Amino acid sequence: MRIDVRNDNVDKALKILKKKLFDEGTINELMERRYYEKPSQTKRRKKIDARRRQQRAVQKEQQMRMRQARRSGAKAK
């Protein structure tokens, strides 16, 4: 990975670096490995994360349906 510093703007380069590391999941992995986590805790955390992802997906789909219903309702009038 390479981050270029332009016009001596180190702050912006650091911001870009942090964003890239976060997107890759490196930051999350470091946070998870900071302390030992028992296997049962890992399974529990993963189940909770999966449930949250599923709930977000359902909410997002409901919002999209609401938007489509509003659009079609506005066109029908």
Digit-coded pLDDT (tens) for 11-56: 999 999 999 998 998 988 888 889 999 999 999 999 999 999 999 9
The conformational region for residue 35 under phi > 0 = left, psi -120 to 50 = alpha, else beta, is beta
The per-residue pLDDT for 58 is 97
With CA atoms as reference, report the closest residue to 22 among 39, 7, 1.
1
pTM over 0.75: no
Highest-scoring range by mean pLDDT, 2-6, 26-30, 44-48, 71-75: 44-48
Q: Is the pLDDT of residue 57 over 90?
A: yes
Which spans in the chain are helix H? 10-24, 26-33, 39-76
The per-residue pLDDT for 32 is 85
